[in-house]
């Protein structure tokens, strides 16, 4: 073949989530790797989807999302964060948070700009920044607590910084940002042109009575932020690939200019089903912390006698564990070995760093049935 193309993403391969899930499937391993639940969403939600699947509404929905869904999302963020979002101009339904994040970056970041990301960084951020022609400025976070050193952020901000991407609760570390983090961030971006892209897909998975610190709680941050969330996590339906972005009108307008040419819309029956369910069960999200905290604790106690060391996650449905008492393999080799030889799939975290630290850690997902967690923990405890 003589035809070749210069890759726009020469350093990018297939995502580790896909690689590990494929390996888990081939080796019949319990999949605690990729983040998805092994139980269905609420029955009523599935019933509503079935209803709409059999109905007649199968054409394009409005570009910004079905109005009923935008309205119920606006009510939810008003209730949760005191931010009175205008469903018409500030709420955009997107086919997955990944699409929302991508569109937000393309809309706000110009060639030559710098975007601050924290490592380990969720894997979709940096390729989207690269495709926008900008460069990623990495600020590493380290075990055991993975907290942000705001002085480093301050030092990293330049005239070219057009965006800071935050993620709370944080995948893969389970860290959640506190009120002080948000206040310092607010001060750092004051009087700048920096947009805050706030990945809050795990907004309802915050444990131990802590409050989720959405950017929407902070008026000064909210006016320059795009908050992105995913129905996939909140309703146990990651494969429905539906999420939402909340941003003030001007930012939403720019976001929508890109969204309309990337996917244009999300899927009609899914949006209708979500709207019905959220109207019928407005308290669903409030029950999630208890639900997931019980899973976190079950997994933690089942792993208590293992040689894995960990601090229980403060949020998200991921548990990072240190395996240095078991092996000195690097984390990619360890995750592959756990998946193919031990029978429990895990995700390595070094791939999410520009300069990986020397730590020996992998990530397990605890959004699984209790029996799955107990079985996996008993296999892992035998190591």
**Interface residue list for ligand GLN (CB under 6 A):** 15, 17, 34-35, 171
Residue 99 CB, nearest approach to ligand GLN (Å): 12
Minimum CB distance to ligand GLN smaller for 20 or for 188: 20
For 159, counting Cβ atoms within 10 Å of its Cβ (0-12 exposed, 13-18 middle, 19+ buried), the class is exposed
DSSP string computed for 207-273? -TTPPP--GGG-HHHHTTEEEEEEHHHHTT-GGG--EEEE--HHHHHHHHHHHHHHTS---HHHHHH
Residue 124 CB, nearest approach to ligand GLN (Å): 7
Residue 335 CB, nearest approach to ligand GLN (Å): 12
Cα separation values, 110 from 3, 106, 115, 262, Å: 30, 8, 10, 17
Minimum CB distance to ligand GLN smaller for 171 or for 339: 171
Cα separation values, 251 from 90, 100, 203, Å: 8, 12, 21
Strand partners, 93: 244
Residue 347 CB, nearest approach to ligand GLN (Å): 6
Residue 121 CB, nearest approach to ligand GLN (Å): 12
What gap in Å lies between CA 222 and CA 195, rounded to an integer?
10
Q: Note if the bond before 120 is cis, omega within 30 degrees.
A: yes
DSSP 341: I
Residue 97 CB, nearest approach to ligand GLN (Å): 9
Minimum CB distance to ligand GLN smaller for 15 or for 311: 15
Minimum CB distance to ligand GLN smaller for 65 or for 172: 172
Residue 195 CB, nearest approach to ligand GLN (Å): 22
Minimum CB distance to ligand GLN smaller for 61 or for 172: 172
For the record, the structure tokens of 197 come out as 């892209």
Minimum CB distance to ligand GLN smaller for 35 or for 315: 35
Minimum CB distance to ligand GLN smaller for 99 or for 276: 99
| Cβ-Cβ contacts under 8 Å for 96 (sequence gap 6 or more) | 230, 232, 241, 242, 243
Cβ proximity of 122 and 157 under 8 Å: no
Cβ proximity of 233 and 201 under 8 Å: yes
Residue 382 CB, nearest approach to ligand GLN (Å): 25
Minimum CB distance to ligand GLN smaller for 182 or for 344: 344
In a 3-state reduction of DSSP, which class is residue 317?
coil
For the record, the structure tokens of 153 come out as 């952020």
């Amino acid at each position: 073949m003589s035809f070749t193309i210069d890759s726009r993403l020469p350093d990018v391969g297939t995502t580790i989530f896909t690689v590990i899930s494929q390996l888990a499937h081939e080796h019949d391993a319990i999949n605690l790797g990729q983040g998805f639940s092994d139980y269905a969403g609420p029955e009523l939600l599935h019933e509503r989807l079935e209803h709409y699947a059999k109905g007649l509404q199968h054409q394009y929905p409005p570009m910004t999302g079905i109005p009923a869904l935008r309205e119920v999302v606006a009510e939810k963020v008003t209730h949760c964060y005191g931010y009175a979002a205008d469903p018409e101009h500030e709420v955009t339904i997107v086919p997955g948070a990944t699409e929302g994040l991508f569109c937000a970056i393309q809309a706000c970041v110009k060639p030559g700009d710098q975007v601050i990301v924290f490592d380990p960084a969720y894997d979709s951020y940096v390729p989207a920044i690269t495709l926008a022609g900008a460069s990623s400025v990495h600020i590493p976070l380290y075990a055991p607590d993975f907290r942000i050193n705001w002085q480093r952020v301050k030092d990293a901000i330049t005239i070219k910084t057009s965006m800071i991407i935050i993620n709370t609760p944080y995948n893969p570390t389970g860290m959640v940002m506190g009120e002080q983090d948000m206040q310092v961030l607010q001060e750092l971006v004051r009087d700048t042109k920096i947009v805050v892209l706030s990945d809050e897909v795990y907004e309802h998975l915050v444990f131990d009575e802590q409050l989720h610190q959405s950017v929407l709680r902070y008026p000064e941050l909210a006016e320059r932020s795009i908050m992105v969330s995913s129905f996939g996590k909140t309703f146990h339906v990651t494969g429905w690939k539906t999420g939402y972005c909340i941003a003030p009108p001007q930012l939403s307008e720019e976001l929508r200019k890109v969204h309309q040419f990337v996917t244009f819309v999300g899927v009609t029956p899914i949006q209708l089903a979500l709207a019905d369910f959220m109207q019928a069960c407005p308290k669903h999200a409030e029950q999630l912390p208890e639900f997931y905290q019980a899973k976190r604790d079950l997994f933690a106690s089942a792993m208590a006698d293992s040689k894995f060391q960990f601090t229980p996650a403060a949020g998200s449905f991921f548990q990072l564990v240190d395996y240095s008492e078991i092996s000195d393999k690097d984390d990619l080799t360890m995750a592959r070995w756990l998946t193919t030889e031990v029978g429990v799939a895990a995700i390595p975290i070094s791939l999410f760093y520009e300069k990986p630290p020397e730590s020996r850690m992998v990530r397990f997902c605890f959004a699984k049935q209790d029996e799955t967690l107990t079985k996996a923990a008993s296999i892992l405890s035998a190591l």
